[in-house]
């Protein structure tokens, strides 16, 4: 069975990669869908986020990466996928994901499977890492080397 793991991935972190790898442990194939939330401001543009995700999962068998150009539910329907997987770190993630999953199920009948975030990666978020990087802090423990290099290049430190 195939599953879609959607997200903004601005940028992709080791926490995201853990969720993708564990989703792949449950489902035979995983499509990582790089989308956008129109209420968010991004550091990386869609093509950059897509390229960083592609590089980060290049050595994971059974994992593909594609951009979401419209609604997530339409992306899933066009590919015949009926399950979405999202990672959950803490209560506020759950509140947000519950709302989104109910909306997506009402829009198309798609099911959402929530995976608890691994303790190894704690509660790190892309937005906190962007904040640390904006102040020239070391985010290398939390992201793959290609992402670290891209963030430093983008911010200029």
Nearest one of 46, 58, 47, 70 to 20, comparing CA atoms: 58
Q: How far apart are CA 130 and CA 143, in angstroms?
A: 11
- CB 87: neighbour CB atoms within 10 A? 21
Is 11 a binder of ligand PNS (CB under 6 A)?
A: no
Positions annotated as catalytic residues are 16, 40, 89, 126
Shortest reach from residue 60's CB to ligand PNS, in Å? 19
Is 7 a binder of ligand PNS (CB under 6 A)?
A: yes
Nearest one of 97, 100, 145, 146 to 117, comparing CA atoms: 97
Q: Which residues pair with 62 in a beta bridge?
A: none
- Cβ proximity to ligand PNS, 55 vs 97, nearer residue: 97
Q: List CB contacts of 60: < 8 A, sequence separation 6 or more.
A: 20, 21, 24
**What is the pattern of x (binds ligand PNS, CB under 6 A) and - over residues 113-152?**
----------------------------------------
Shortest reach from residue 36's CB to ligand PNS, in Å? 6
Q: How far apart are CA 46 and CA 121, in angstroms?
A: 25
Is 8 a binder of ligand PNS (CB under 6 A)?
A: yes
Residues 29-68, interacting with ligand PNS (CB under 6 A) = 35-37, 68
Q: What is the contact surface with ligand PNS in residues (CB under 6 A)?
A: 6-8, 35-37, 68, 71-72, 100, 103
């Amino acid at each position: 069975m195939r599953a879609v793991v959607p997200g903004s991935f601005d940028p992709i972190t080791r926490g995201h990669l853990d969720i993708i790898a564990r989703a792949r442990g449950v489902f035979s194939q995983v499509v990582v869908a790089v989308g956008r939330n129109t209420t968010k401001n991004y550091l990386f543009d869609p093509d950059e986020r897509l390229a960083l995700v592609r590089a980060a999962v290049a050595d994971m068998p059974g994992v593909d990466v594609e951009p979401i150009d419209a609604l997530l539910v339409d992306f899933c329907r066009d590919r015949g996928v009926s399950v979405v997987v999202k990672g959950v770190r803490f209560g506020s993630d759950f509140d947000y994901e519950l709302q989104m999953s109910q909306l997506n199920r009402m829009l198309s009948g798609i099911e959402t499977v929530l995976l608890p975030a691994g303790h190894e990666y704690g509660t790190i978020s892309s937005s906190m890492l962007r904040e640390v990087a904006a102040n020239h802090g070391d985010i290398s423990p939390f992201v793959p080397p290609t992402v670290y290099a891209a963030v430093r290049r983008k911010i200029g430190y």
